[in-house]
Structure 1
Amino acid sequence: MTSTDHHRYLVVGATGEQGGAVARRLLSDGHHVRVLIRAGTDPVRLPAGVEPVIGDLADPTQMASAFAGVTHASVMLPMVYEPTVVASYAEHLARAAAAAGVNRLVFNTGTGVPDVLTGVTAFETRRAAAATLLGSGVPTVVLHPLVYRENLCAPWVAGSTVHEGVLRYPLPADLPVAWLGHDDLAAATVAALTRDGVEGTTVRLGGPDVVTGTELAGQIGAALGRPVEYAELDVDDFERGLAYAVGADAAAGVAATYRWLATAEGARSCARWAVAASSRHVEEALGVQLTPLRTWAGAQPWHRIAQAAA
């Protein structure tokens, strides 16, 4: 496809890292990209070249306007986990997309949704939203990523990794995880938006390498050229730190997912996830090549990130 085709893309969540990666990928492929933003959003947070449209997920009229003329939509919800609020967001999105006659909608749950009920609102609100969008009548693909490599580049992680040789993260050291990169997410999203025969499906996303925390630290250490150890970060400490960046409510929602993954059921679910999200399954479903963890780690400016943390 080229910029002269009749496809018009809407990205919901483009001010975040995940949605921003999708918008940039679509732009680089030559597509027209509209992004939904809240009133007062700083333009510097938007990828260059997008068409911004102001709208609030809570306002069905604004959603209808945002979707007007749109043929394809990539959706990620904000870090809100109150069930009735998220349900209204999903319903407004579903109705607007259906009314606009959207050809394909891809919903990124933003976090892994386990294959069992958990009672964790960050999981269950996304499970419910996915069901709403899949039942909307709009051809929909749901993407379930578990955890992102870019989390390891957060200053509070990279700082201790580089300066102390200790990778601290709130997951058990022996938990097998298929860490996913934002670039691979963007490639998978674009494929899900355009690939024939995938509508109505749910795809679990992960990177091609399934590693424990200890193995992950080894890969990061290889990129740094010196040993790095893994240390499980206390989730309460993680939540307190995250609250400064995203607010107390969002931090509590995210922290609850890490607490669940540390349980026996969470570990079993994560192990099943690693199999379902393997590169073979993802590549078969979407036709994308995933970036090896070692390649990704070697390309990161770890020392510059750590300097920013200091």
Structure 2
Amino acid sequence: MPFIIHGATGAQGGPLYASLRRAGLDAVAAVRDVAKFPDDTAVSIDNDSVDSLISAYRGADGVFIHLPQTSEAGRLQHARNIVQAIETAKPKRIIISTNGAIVDQPGSALQSSDDSAIMVLIRGVQDSGVSHAVVAPRLYLENLLLPMVFGPAQSEGVLQYPVAADYAVSWSSHLDVAEAAHKLLVDPTVSGVVGIGHQPGLVSADLAEGFSQQFGRDIRYEALLPEAFGDLIEPMIGPATASVVGLYKALAYAPDNVIRQETSAQEVLGLHPMSVQQWLNAMQD
């Protein structure tokens, strides 16, 4: 029976879909337009259509889900629709990616609220009784590929990002998420939240060192204010800028953004995230 992969044409679902296919597993891309998918292993879904989700999920060995980047109202409706489809179709296994939302720090100001879309999705899957696990990355290394970040690092030797120089983060890549999600899909013995990323966290010197090794010259780090970062990304992402700036403002009030050791992929799955240089090399392949 197939593994249904939401977002198989995107940055997060794509590496997982490819990983499963390389392993000879029956991976099926869940996409809106199957005609645009490069091969015939796709099924049409629409997160606004419960019936399409039920049809895709029924008989599946596993489903990988992450909510798309849209309005929170839209994400909430998608979460409710997905939960309804899971309750009806009863696939054997569900893996949810939080896509950077923090769901395993109760009491923290960074913890996603109970009425947020991601928590509605997680709680609904828990209540469905279907075997499941949650992969919980923090910040993605792929954020450093944004042209306003990667460009100055490459041309001017300055890596700019809106976190303080001594702020520790469990950085991870989409490839790390795919590796963990693959293992969790085929191993139903692990449940609960699995943190993805470096533990202990990386600080700016670690990022700069990885870039220096890759480029063969010194790269220095420069912390940006969230508002200044917002000015750089606003022409690219438009109205979504406000939520991005809000995230980095919130992070500034927390001592770090680091996953818990006891629920990390290192501890639970024996998986370790790529170093910054390993990830940069992978991005060039």
Under TM normalisation by the shorter chain, which class is it? 0.7 to 0.9
The aligned amino acid for 1:21 is P
8 Å contact kept, 1:147–1:179 = yes
Q: Which of 4, 17, 22 pairs up with 1:23?
A: 17
Whether 2:203 is the aligned partner of 1:212: answer yes
Structure 1 stretches lacking a partner, 5+ long: 1-6, 305-310
Partner of 1:110: 99
The aligned amino acid for 1:96 is A
Partner of 1:60: 50
Q: Secondary structure at the match of 2:243?
A: helix
Report how far residue 101 of structure 1 moved.
2.2
Cα distance in 2 for partners of 1:89, 1:196 equals 25
Q: Secondary structure at the match of 1:73?
A: strand
For residues 209 and 216 of structure 1, do their structure 2 counterparts lie closer, same or farther at Cα, with a shift above 3 Å needed? farther
The aligned amino acid for 1:182 is H
Matches within 5 A, 1:216-231: 216-231=207-222
Whether 2:279 is the aligned partner of 1:291: answer no
The aligned amino acid for 2:43 is V
Q: Secondary structure at the match of 1:142?
A: strand
Whether 2:157 is the aligned partner of 1:165: answer yes
TM-score normalised by structure 1 residue count: 0.81
Matches within 5 A, 1:8-157: 8-39=2-33, 43=36, 46=37, 48-49=38-39, 51-82=41-72, 84-113=73-102, 115=105, 116-118=108-110, 124-157=116-149
The aligned amino acid for 1:72 is G
Cα distance in 2 for partners of 1:253, 1:148 equals 16
Residue deviations 1:109-166, cap 9 Å, x none? 1014151254877x94323322222222211111110011122122221110010100
Q: Give me the CA root mean square deviation.
A: 2.7
Q: Which of 267, 276, 279 pairs up with 2:255?
A: 267
Instruction: Give identity over the alignment, percent.
Output: 26
The aligned amino acid for 1:218 is E
Cα distance in 2 for partners of 1:300, 1:24 equals 15
Cα distance in 2 for partners of 1:239, 1:56 equals 31
Q: Secondary structure at the match of 1:177?
A: coil
Report how far residue 208 of structure 1 moved.
5.4
Cα distance in 1 for partners of 2:145, 2:277 equals 15
The aligned amino acid for 2:225 is D
Whether 2:261 is the aligned partner of 1:276: answer yes
Cα distance in 2 for partners of 1:212, 1:222 equals 16
For residues 254 and 130 of structure 1, do their structure 2 counterparts lie closer, same or farther at Cα, with a shift above 3 Å needed? farther
Matches within 5 A, 1:178-217: 178-199=170-191, 201-207=192-198, 210-217=201-208
Partner of 1:4: none
Q: Secondary structure at the match of 1:140?
A: strand
